[in-house]
């Protein structure tokens, strides 16, 4: 008989309610500042470019963060399963907070891009590991409630950071006190669920190949059409090299004893569909979030605060749809929720392509609500599909995989949309002002367009509106492709799909069995908890210091 996997409900039951709540609060805060960092920076980017200049590198501020996040997500997820959630999560938090301080002190666009890359390495840990910790604490039936908390926090933070009254540097500095508080909560209160594990071998070759592949691919996407022609030898060479590196990565992973991304996970239909769908929806979602504030501030004439408010309806709609979608999928299944979300996503993206220089703030808000309804449903369905398809010992890898695909899609989407937008903007400005040398970055400085003559101001707005229209068309094409991939999601309730999926993946040698489950450190409580007297400690049989009742080696897992 094969040993069964310990229920995460039983793990949470071993903790006091106070510990569960404080741990949940810490991961909520940590994921919030990481997940929203891209959104907040997007709101402040017009002001940042106006101060530091360098609109040619506008997309790199996002791409550097996404590239570093993408490359590190699978590694962080694997380390969380190998070493433990707590030490890995703390490491990511320290990197993220430190890099945030450096971003706030940047004196040039290149410094900001460099520090954003470092920040992305930390963010690559926080997003998947925070979700993994939450999945450790809450069962599938309980997760709609925790999903609601994550979504509500996401929406709240999206409207807090304003750059009209404060310097844009506070977009980054505000992470410091919040991040330090989260670090304290995790260090002080989180209890690590440790099991007896065999020695692991980190897939260094696979990690290196993954980093090389993503770096070459993103360089080609970022510079093509701006610094180099799409058909130039360098860009073609980069695409060929990235394809070769991807092929080499796949070969390495297939041969690795402990691969960074176990391809056996793709045997599970729900997880396979969730990762593919996340890739395409990530492309469209990040492209919209990155460039909508630019449309709001330059085309409609909003302040940085107004540009931020353009995203508020989207976030509020995401709260509503993610909570509703999480509850519906328990019975109706992932397929219905993700297809329903795709419909809203496509409609919203279509409406975005209709925006022009005469569009009102109401029209922008309307489109954001529809997009948000679609994003919320698709994100919650794909994330839960990944988490609920594996046991606790693989939770980190599975969660990081769907995040990896979403972020990879985001990096591709932002780069492609940025290349299209910049090329179109340059052409339109040259046509509007023949013979004039115009730096688009200076047009983003606060109040700059208002100083132009009325005719010139209208021409600039029309140029930006036309260029951003083409970027939104790219987003529409990508979301339509994503909608088609939702048909891959299997039918059935989430509970039924979870039960079927558990038999499709071989049991790992160090699966978290009931006998091997121990608490790594005492819970900080005034009174000892009742369960502490009866659960064997690492060297005990219930008294805390004797011999274990039964061996906890991998070979003993099956009888």
- Predicted confidence (pLDDT) per residue in 429-474, tens digit: 888 888 777 766 666 655 566 667 777 778 888 888 888 999 999 9
pTM above 0.85, yes or no: no
Give me the count of residues in the chain: 559
Q: How confident is the model at residue 73 (pLDDT cuts 50, 70, 90)?
A: confident
Q: How confident is the model at residue 75 (pLDDT cuts 50, 70, 90)?
A: confident
Q: How far apart are CA 184 and CA 190, in angstroms?
A: 10
* Residue ranges covered by each domain of the chain: 8-202+258-501, 203-257
In percent, how much of the chain has pLDDT > 90? 19
- At a CB cut-off of 8 Å and minimum separation 6, what does 431 contact? none
Q: What is the predicted pLDDT for the residue at 370?
A: 94
Q: How far apart are CA 283 and CA 131, in angstroms?
A: 21
Burial class (CB in 10 A: 0-12, 13-18, 19+), 534: exposed
Residue 554 pLDDT greater than 60, yes or no: no
And the tokens for 442? 């200076």
Q: How confident is the model at residue 289 (pLDDT cuts 50, 70, 90)?
A: confident
Residue 193 pLDDT greater than 90, yes or no: no
Q: How confident is the model at residue 501 (pLDDT cuts 50, 70, 90)?
A: low
**Packing angle, helices 85-104 and 175-189, rounded to 10:** 170
Q: How confident is the model at residue 517 (pLDDT cuts 50, 70, 90)?
A: very low
Q: How confident is the model at residue 531 (pLDDT cuts 50, 70, 90)?
A: very low
Residue pair 183/94 in contact by the 8 Å Cβ criterion: yes
Q: What is the predicted pLDDT for the residue at 529?
A: 38
Q: How confident is the model at residue 487 (pLDDT cuts 50, 70, 90)?
A: very high
Q: What is the predicted pLDDT for the residue at 511?
A: 44
What residues pair up with 500 in beta bridges, in sequence order?
none
Query: Residue 194 is inside which H or E element, if any?
Result: strand 193-194
Residue 122 pLDDT greater than 70, yes or no: yes
And the tokens for 153? 């926090």
Q: Print burial letters for 97-132: b (CB count within 10 Å at least 16), e (below 16).
A: bbbbebbbebeebeebbbbbbbbbbbbbbbbbbbbb
End-to-end alpha carbon distance in the chain = 5
Q: What is the predicted pLDDT for the residue at 197?
A: 53
Pairing of strands 193-194, 518-519: antiparallel
* CATH fold label, 8-202+258-501: Growth Hormone; Chain: A; (1.20.1250)
253-262: pLDDT as tens digits: 888 887 888 8
Residue 150 pLDDT greater than 80, yes or no: no
For residues 519-542, average pLDDT: 39
Average pLDDT, the chain: 77
Helical H segments across 256-333, by residue range: 269-294, 304-332
Other Cβ atoms less than 10 A from the Cβ of 392: the count is 20
- At a CB cut-off of 8 Å and minimum separation 6, what does 164 contact? 303, 304, 305
Q: How confident is the model at residue 3 (pLDDT cuts 50, 70, 90)?
A: very low
Distances (CA, A) of 437 to 226, 253, 428, 433, 443: 17, 51, 12, 8, 12
Residue 54 pLDDT greater than 60, yes or no: yes
Q: What is the predicted pLDDT for the residue at 144?
A: 63
Q: Which of 550, 508, 516 is nearest to 200 (CA)?
A: 508
What residues pair up with 558 in beta bridges, in sequence order?
2
Residue 393 pLDDT greater than 90, yes or no: no
Q: Return the biggest CA–CA distance within the chain.
A: 86
Q: How confident is the model at residue 127 (pLDDT cuts 50, 70, 90)?
A: confident
User: Which 3 state secondary structure label does DSSP give 185?
Assistant: helix
**Packing angle, helices 109-137 and 395-432, rounded to 10:** 150
Residue 512 pLDDT greater than 70, yes or no: no
And the tokens for 254? 């297939």
Highest mean pLDDT among 222-226, 255-259, 307-311: 255-259
Q: How far apart are CA 204 and CA 208, in angstroms?
A: 6
Number of H helices, E strands in the chain: 18, 2
User: Which 3 state secondary structure label does DSSP give 198?
Assistant: coil
Residue 301 pLDDT greater than 80, yes or no: no
The per-residue DSSP string of 532-548 comes to: GGTS--TT-SSSSSS--
Bigger pLDDT: 95 vs 211: 95
Bigger pLDDT: 474 vs 223: 474
Alpha-carbon radius of gyration of the chain:
24
Q: What is the predicted pLDDT for the residue at 5?
A: 39
320-332: pLDDT as tens digits: 888 888 888 877 8
The sign of the torsion formed by the CA atoms of 208, 274, 20, 126 equals positive
Half-sphere exposure in the Cβ direction for 559 (13 Å, CA) = 5
And the tokens for 228? 């180099």
Phi-psi region of 447 (alpha: psi -120 to 50; beta: other; left: phi over 0): left
Residue pair 86/186 in contact by the 8 Å Cβ criterion: yes
Q: How far apart are CA 281 and CA 273, in angstroms?
A: 12
Residue 18 pLDDT greater than 80, yes or no: yes
Other Cβ atoms less than 10 A from the Cβ of 48: the count is 23
Q: What is the predicted pLDDT for the residue at 38?
A: 60
Q: How confident is the model at residue 246 (pLDDT cuts 50, 70, 90)?
A: very high
Q: How far apart are CA 271 and CA 405, in angstroms?
A: 12
Please tell me the least confidently modeled range out of 151-155, 216-220, 482-486.
Answer: 151-155
Half-sphere exposure in the Cβ direction for 65 (13 Å, CA) = 26
Q: How far apart are CA 386 and CA 268, in angstroms?
A: 9
Residue 307 pLDDT greater than 70, yes or no: no
Residue pair 118/99 in contact by the 8 Å Cβ criterion: yes
Q: How far apart are CA 454 and CA 447, in angstroms?
A: 14
258-285: pLDDT as tens digits: 788 888 888 888 888 999 999 999 998 8
Q: How confident is the model at residue 238 (pLDDT cuts 50, 70, 90)?
A: very high
The sign of the torsion formed by the CA atoms of 308, 310, 315, 320 equals positive
Residue 55 pLDDT greater than 80, yes or no: no
In percent, how much of the chain has pLDDT > 70? 75
Q: What is the predicted pLDDT for the residue at 446?
A: 52
For residues 7-34, average pLDDT: 75
Residue pair 280/475 in contact by the 8 Å Cβ criterion: no
Residue 390 pLDDT greater than 90, yes or no: no
Residue pair 242/217 in contact by the 8 Å Cβ criterion: yes
Residue 2 pLDDT greater than 50, yes or no: no
Residue 343 pLDDT greater than 50, yes or no: yes
Residue written as token pair 């369905």: 381
Other Cβ atoms less than 10 A from the Cβ of 233: the count is 9
Phi-psi region of 507 (alpha: psi -120 to 50; beta: other; left: phi over 0): beta
**Packing angle, helices 304-332 and 37-52, rounded to 10:** 160
Q: What is the predicted pLDDT for the residue at 477?
A: 93
Residue 91 pLDDT greater than 90, yes or no: yes
């Amino acid at each position: 008989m094969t040993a069964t996997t310990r229920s995460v409900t039983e793990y949470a039951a071993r903790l006091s309610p106070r510990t569960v709540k404080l741990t949940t609060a810490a991961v909520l805060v940590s994921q919030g500042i990481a997940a929203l960092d891209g959104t907040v920076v997007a709101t402040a980017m017009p002001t940042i470019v106006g101060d530091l200049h360098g609109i040619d590198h506008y997309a790199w501020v996002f791409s550097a963060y996404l590239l570093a996040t993408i490359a590190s997500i699978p590694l962080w997820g694997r380390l969380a399963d190998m070493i433990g959630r707590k030490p890995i999560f703390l490491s990511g938090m320290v990197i993220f907070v430190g890099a945030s301080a450096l971003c706030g002190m940047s004196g040039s666009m290149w410094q900001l891009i460099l520090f954003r890359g470092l920040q992305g390495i930390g963010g690559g840990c926080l997003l998947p590991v925070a979700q993994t910790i939450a999945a450790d604490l809450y069962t599938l039936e309980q997760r709609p409630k925790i999903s609601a908390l994550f979504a509500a926090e996401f929406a709240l933070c999206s409207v807090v950071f304003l750059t009209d009254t404060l310097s844009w540097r506070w977009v980054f500095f505000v992470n410091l006190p919040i991040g330090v508080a989260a670090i304290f909560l995790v260090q002080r209160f989180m209890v690590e669920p440790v099991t007896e594990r065999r020695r692991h071998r980190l897939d260094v070759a696979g990690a290196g190949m993954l980093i090389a592949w993503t770096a070459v691919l993103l360089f080609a996407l970022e510079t093509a059409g701006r610094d180099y022609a799409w058909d130039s030898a360098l860009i073609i060479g980069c695409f060929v090299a990235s394809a070769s590196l991807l092929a080499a990565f796949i070969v390495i992973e297939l041969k690795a004893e402990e691969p960074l991304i176990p391809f056996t996970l793709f045997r599970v239909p729900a997880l396979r569909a969730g990762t593919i769908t996340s890739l395409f929806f990530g492309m469209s979602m990040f492209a919209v979030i990155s460039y909508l504030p630019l449309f709001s501030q330059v085309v409609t004439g909003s302040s940085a605060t107004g540009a931020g408010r353009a995203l508020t309806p989207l976030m509020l709609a995401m709260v509503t749809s993610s909570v509703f979608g999480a509850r519906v999928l328990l019975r109706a299944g992932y397929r219905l929720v993700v297809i329903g979300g795709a419909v809203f996503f496509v409609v919203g993206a279509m409406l975005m392509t209709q925006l022009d220089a005469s569009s009102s703030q109401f029209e922008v808000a309307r489109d954001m609500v529809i997009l948000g309804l679609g994003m919320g449903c698709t994100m919650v369905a794909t994330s839960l599909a990944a988490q609920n398809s594996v046991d606790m010992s693989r939770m980190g890898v599975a969660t990081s995989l769907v995040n990896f695909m979403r972020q990879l899609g985001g990096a591709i989407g932002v780069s492609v949309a940025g290349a299209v937008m910049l090329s179109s903007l340059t052409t339109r400005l040259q046509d509007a002002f023949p013979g004039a040398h115009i730096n688009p970055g200076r047009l983003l400085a606060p109040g700059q367009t208002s100083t132009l003559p009325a005719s010139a101001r209208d021409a600039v707005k029309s140029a930006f509106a036309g260029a951003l229209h083409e970027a939104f068309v790219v987003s529409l094409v990508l979301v339509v492709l994503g909608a088609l991939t939702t048909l891959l999601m299997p039918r059935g309730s989430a509970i039924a799909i979870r039960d079927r999926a558990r038999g499709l993946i071989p049991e790992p040698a160090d699966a978290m069995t009931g006998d091997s489950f121990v608490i790594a450190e005492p819970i900080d409580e005034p009174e000892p908890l009742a369960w502490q007297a009866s659960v064997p400690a690492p060297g005990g049989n219930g008294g805390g210091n004797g011999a274990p009742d039964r061996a906890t080696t991998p070979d003993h897992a099956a009888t």
